[in-house]
Amino acid sequence: MNKSSYVPYQYEYYPREPRRRPKYPQYAGLKSSTLKAVEPFVQYGLREARYTSVEHALREVAAIAYLMGRGFDPRTAHQIVESWEVDERF
């Protein structure tokens, strides 16, 4: 192989410019409402991680988000997950 034709990397060194059009335009309006819905539980998880473990806090927030996705309102989902804990453990 000729050294002058050798290209060590196939990929660009810098990321490409962001896309001009959303990939899924039918879901563009979901971003704001989704982030707004989960933000209180993100903050809760960050506070919870100070007193338990990060793993525990992530599991708790993920369980709450899952239950919300199953149709439970946020308060009920939180109460259900809290009811599963015994001595800060699931």
For residue 90, what pLDDT is reported?
75
Q: Does residue 75 contact residue 66 with C-beta atoms inside 8 Å? A: no
Total H helices, total E strands in the chain? 3, 0
Over the stretch 1-55, which tens digit does the pLDDT of each residue have?
555 565 555 656 666 776 677 678 888 888 888 899 889 999 999 999 999 999 9
42-62 in b/e form (b: 16+ CB < 10 A) is eeebeebbeebeeebbeebbe
Kind plus residue range of the DSSP H or E element containing 8: none
Cβ-based neighbours of 48, under 8 Å, separated by 6 or more:
56, 57, 60, 61
DSSP 3: G
pLDDT digits (tens, 9 = 90+) for 60-88: 999 999 999 999 999 999 999 999 988 77
